[in-house]
Structure 1
Amino acid sequence: MGISVTHKKLKVELVGFRLSTPKHYKIDGVENIDIERYDHEIFSKYLSILLEQENVEIKKKIDNCSITLLDYSENEISSYAFGKLLVFKSGKRQRIVNEDDLTEGEFKNRDQGLKNEIHFVINKTTGVILVERDYEKIFKASLLNSFFYHNKNFIYDYVDEFNKLNYNKETKTSIEIHKNKLIYINPLPSQDLFDELEEFARIKRFKVTKKVEKKKNHGIDGCAKELEDILNKASNTSLGQNVVSIEYYMDERGKGLEMDSLKKMIQNIYQSHYYEDFIITGTNIDNDLKTLTKDNITKRFEFKIPVDIDGNYVDICILFDKLLFLIQEYIEEHFDLDDYYSDKVRNLIVNP
């Protein structure tokens, strides 16, 4: 008679985003920009090029948090691609403590961190991506965004070749990638945000930040329509080399911002990609301070998975099966794939 082994189950958390790869194009004499579109070829090429570099060379560090790419794979048959990232946190010398008897062990030096390998899956049609959240909760959208931006020079040759191939001198037709707009990370629409907003009894401050390309006033005008109300009413607008930061405060009498219109505006901004970050500060019905940012209301998925005595997955295939199930379920519920397959611009693109 065999012995049955029961494994402890660990809660796994995923964060979800949708990537976009903007294209500027001129077709039949009409110029336009499609910021929301996703073309998997550039993402795939970008990560393949990064894998040709040393891990340490493409590593990006923000404050004490670091990220680099370890692996990426796909095939022509599957609609999905998989990858693996490394994230860790350093900056402080700490002694390791045994949880059972509180005896002290060796030190973790300030330039060292705990190794967190996290997996992700991306849909090659929509750009929806689910990323495994690490045990220390280091990974967040801003860290991944900085990683992409930090390494963009590695794909400049590809971009130049793409732009050259997709320009017709005779018809003046063109499809162009801008080097400063390679990949955008957009939050998935999350009911969590709407629930969180309803808990605000009063909003005292709302700040939204948007990256711009040049230090010129037209950078503000280039902000999305969702930001127009803020631009008209903002009490403070600052323009830097790369960032427009707009803040909207409660008035001097202490009256909170008009709630209904502000909540609607925040929802519109959150579901768009026309911002880098935002922060909402106010009080709840108990008059306690409440703060929301882009990272703490990111769309999340949770499930449990068997782990061994050391906390490692018993079978990594269970993780991948769950990743595929959740991303497929989300796409079927929220996306109409016919819109992607009937994309006229996609049929005109020539990839290097």
Structure 2
Amino acid sequence: MTETATKRIFAYKICTPVANLEFDQMNKDVYLKQIFEPFLGEIMNQNVNVKALREEGKFFDINSINQNEDADYLEGVFHTTRYGTQNDIIEITTQAIQGHVLPTQGVRFDVHFVLCRRTGLLLVESDPFRVATRNTIDTYLSKKQTLVKKFIEDYNKENYPQFVYDSMVFTIESVMDQGFYDQLAEISKVKEVSGYMEVTDDGQNAAISKFKKDAAGDEHNVSEVTEFKISLINSVRNSGLKHVKRFIDNSLDLEKFSRFEVSGYDNMNKKRTASFNVKPVSFYVNVGINGNGVINSAQLIQEMVNIAKEDNPLDSEG
């Protein structure tokens, strides 16, 4: 019998915002493959010494991008690892040291992805190093935006009054359950945003550990904690918190928060509170693995293409 492994697939939404200069309007939800795909091509043409992101002990690079058998999809592989400290390589049965991973080295992981050329849906395989997150992909692409300048100039010349700003080439967001951002948009003046983390053990967060009762039984510490709440508050009259959506997007990358609560006032100055569970859209697929634990990458890509064809969450947005 062939062994299988369950892989989690995260869904992201890539957009290339387009302005209409005649009507002074901005469409932030459009995806232009004629802008984004040449952008990816220019990245792939970069010298290997400058193409990768090396930042805060994280390594991230686009290793390959290819046309899928279905013309509506691109497929590819990210390379990820973590580096910065020397570690021993051990034989797990005897625990004998077999070698060392040096601070400038890392164990590479291949993270597979599929991009829907029609909607901008980006499906990304779960990364055990937690490097290939929305935030890392956004940082990586943002640092390379100048590569797409020529394609933007050509697009703007040929499509007036449609206009793409070279300072805002793309956005990438986690795809959320229907209504997530709609609820947030109803509160025009946010006074408080709170994130909740479910507590399962002391080791998951150093701050929680300072307050919870530990296994040794310090009776002076708090015990039976089930949630930890972090709040950002604006107490200045007639003002509100800014960039709340960005804060929530970045917080999602931590994969720690179970829900958010936002309170403030709507455009009629009525007090509003929105409480919602954080449920980024993701999928689970089963794929075959060989005797060395390596997945069947062709099967994984096909499963991801099937998701984009049959369960594309962006098809229901419009």
In the superposition, the TM-score normalised over structure 2's length comes to: 0.69
Given the alignment, which residue of 139, 150, 153 partners 1:146? 139
Query: What is the DSSP-based 3-state SS (H/G/I as helix, E as strand, rest coil) of the residue aligned with 2:305?
Result: helix
Q: How does 1:125-274 map to 2 (within 5 A)?
A: 125-167=118-160, 174-190=161-177, 225=185, 228-230=188-190, 233=191, 248-249=232-233
RMSD: 3.2
Query: What is the DSSP-based 3-state SS (H/G/I as helix, E as strand, rest coil) of the residue aligned with 1:36?
Result: coil
Give the whole-Å Cα distance in 2 for the aligned partners of 1:84 and 1:122.
11
Counterpart of 1:228, as a letter, is: S
Give the whole-Å Cα distance in 2 for the aligned partners of 1:65 and 1:297.
26
Query: What is the DSSP-based 3-state SS (H/G/I as helix, E as strand, rest coil) of the residue aligned with 1:277?
Result: helix
Unaligned residue ranges in structure 2 (runs of 5+): 194-230, 236-243, 261-277
Give the 3 Å change call, closer, same or farther, for CA 306–76 of structure 1 in structure 2.
closer
In the superposition, the TM-score normalised over structure 1's length comes to: 0.63
Give the 3 Å change call, closer, same or farther, for CA 276–336 of structure 1 in structure 2.
closer
Report the equivalent of 1:300.
282
Query: What is the DSSP-based 3-state SS (H/G/I as helix, E as strand, rest coil) of the residue aligned with 2:311?
Result: helix
Report the equivalent of 2:56.
63
Q: Deviations over 1:209-248 (max 9, x none)?
A: xxxxxxxxxxxxxxx9556221xx369xxxxxxxxxxx73
Given the alignment, which residue of 4, 12, 16 partners 2:11? 16
Give the 3 Å change call, closer, same or farther, for CA 24–71 of structure 1 in structure 2.
same
Q: How does 1:74-153 map to 2 (within 5 A)?
A: 74=67, 78-153=71-146
Q: Does 2:237 correspond to 1:277?
A: no
Q: Percent identity?
A: 15
Query: What is the DSSP-based 3-state SS (H/G/I as helix, E as strand, rest coil) of the residue aligned with 2:155?
Result: helix
Counterpart of 1:130, as a letter, is: L
Give the whole-Å Cα distance in 2 for the aligned partners of 1:148 and 1:226.
30
Give the Å deviation of 1:50: 1.0
Report the equivalent of 2:315.
335
Give the 3 Å change call, closer, same or farther, for CA 43–274 of structure 1 in structure 2.
farther
Give the Å deviation of 1:318: 1.3
Number of residue equivalences = 251
Q: Deviations over 1:237-283 (max 9, x none)?
A: xxxxxxxxxx73399xxxxxxxxxxxxxxxxx76xx8975348xxxx
Give the whole-Å Cα distance in 2 for the aligned partners of 1:311 and 1:75.
25
Give the Å deviation of 1:82: 1.1
Whether the aligned pair in 1 keeps the contact of 2:85 and 2:103 (CA below 8 Å) is yes
Give the Å deviation of 1:76: 9.9
Give the whole-Å Cα distance in 1 for the aligned partners of 2:35 and 2:84.
34
Whether the aligned pair in 2 keeps the contact of 1:22 and 1:181 (CA below 8 Å) is yes
Q: Which has the higher helix share?
A: 1
Give the 3 Å change call, closer, same or farther, for CA 225–303 of structure 1 in structure 2.
closer
Give the whole-Å Cα distance in 2 for the aligned partners of 1:114 and 1:76.
30
Give the Å deviation of 1:322: 0.8
